Amino acid sequence: MSAVNDTKFQPAVFLLTGISGQENIHVWISIPFFLMYVTSILGNSLILFIIKSDRNLHEPMYIFISMLAVTDLGISISTMPTTLAIFWFNSREISHDACFAQLFFIHSLIFTESSVLLSMAFDRFVATCNPLRYASILTMPRIVKMGLVSLLRGVFLNFHVPIILKQYRYCKANILSHSYCLNQEIMTMACSDISVNIIYGFFVTVSSVGLDFLLILLSYVMILKTVLSIASHMERLKALNTCVSHVCVVLLFYVPGIGLSVIYRFVKISSPLLQNVLGNISLLIPPMMNPIVYSVKTKTIRARIIRLFVK
C-alpha cells in the first residue's frame, strides 16, 4: 500500500512554465526570447573569434573576457532548449533526471562566472594599483590556473545537488514557475524536511558568490583610492574608464542573481509571473548584454569588430 501511495504522489515529470497567464500569446513572446538567445550566442561567439584570431589580444584582460564569453554561452545553451520548446511546441514536461542535469549545469556555470568576474576584478586591481608588476603577476600559466580553479569550484560546489535532489520524494505540485529548472524551486517541492538543505545552500551561495561580490567591491575601493591619488584629471578618467565595462557586467550579474536567491529562500511571493520575470532577467540578460558592453566600451574590441565588418 505504501508503494502505491509513493507512486501516486511521486510525479514522473516536472512541468515547466513559460510566461504565466500569457499562454495564448507564447508564440509572440518567443520572438524577443529567441532574439535574446541569438544575440547572446552570436555576440559571445564573435568575442571569442576576435580574441582568438588576433594575437595582439592574447593578453590577461582579453583572456578573462573570453572565459566570461564561454560561461555565458554555456548558460544560454543550458536554458534555451526548454524555453523555446515551451513557446513553440507547448512542450512543458521534463523528466527528473533531465531537470537535475539542467540545474546542475546552470548553477555550476553561475558559480564559475562569479569566479571569472572576481579574476577580472583582480586583473583590473593589479593593472591600476601595481602596473609595473602586471606582466610578472598575471602570467599565462597563472591565468590558465585561475580559469581551471573557477571551473572546478563551480562543479565541486554543485555536483552533489542532483544526487541530493534525486533522493527526495516529490509529493507536492510538480509545476515549476520557470521555463528551466532551478535548485531553489525544486527543493520546495519535496515532501522531506529541506531546512538543512536551504541553510546549506544559502551558506554555499553567500560564501562563494556573495564572497566574490564583496571581494570585487573591496578591489574597486582600493582601485578608487589609487585613482584619486593621481594628480592629473585626464589620467584619472583614463584609469577609471578601463574598469567601466567590468563594473557594468558585475552589476548585471550579481544584482538580479542575489536578489532572486534571497527572494526564493526568505520571501513568499504569490505572483508566479514576478518569479518568472526575475528568473529570466537573472539568466537571460547578462549573457546577452555582456558582449554588447565589451563591444561598446572596450576600444580594442570595438575596433576589431568594425574592421571585421567594414573593409
DSSP characters over 219-278: HHHHHHHHHHT-S-HHHHHHHHHHHHHHHHHHHHHHHHHHHHHHHHHH-----HHHHHHH
- Domain range for 292: 2-309
pLDDT tens figures, 90-112: 999 999 999 999 999 999 999 99
Task: DSSP letter for 170, please.
Answer: B
HSE (CB half, 13 Å, CA atoms) of 250?
A: 23
pLDDT tens figures, 17-55: 888 777 788 889 899 999 999 999 999 999 999 999 988
Confidence of residue 147 (pLDDT cuts 50, 70, 90): very high
Domains identified in the chain, total number: 1
Domain at 167, CATH number: 1.20.1070.10
pLDDT score for 182: 87
Which bin fits 175, alpha (ψ -120 to 50), beta or left (φ > 0)? beta
pTM for the model stands at: 0.90
Q: Across residues 158-165, what is the average pLDDT? A: 89
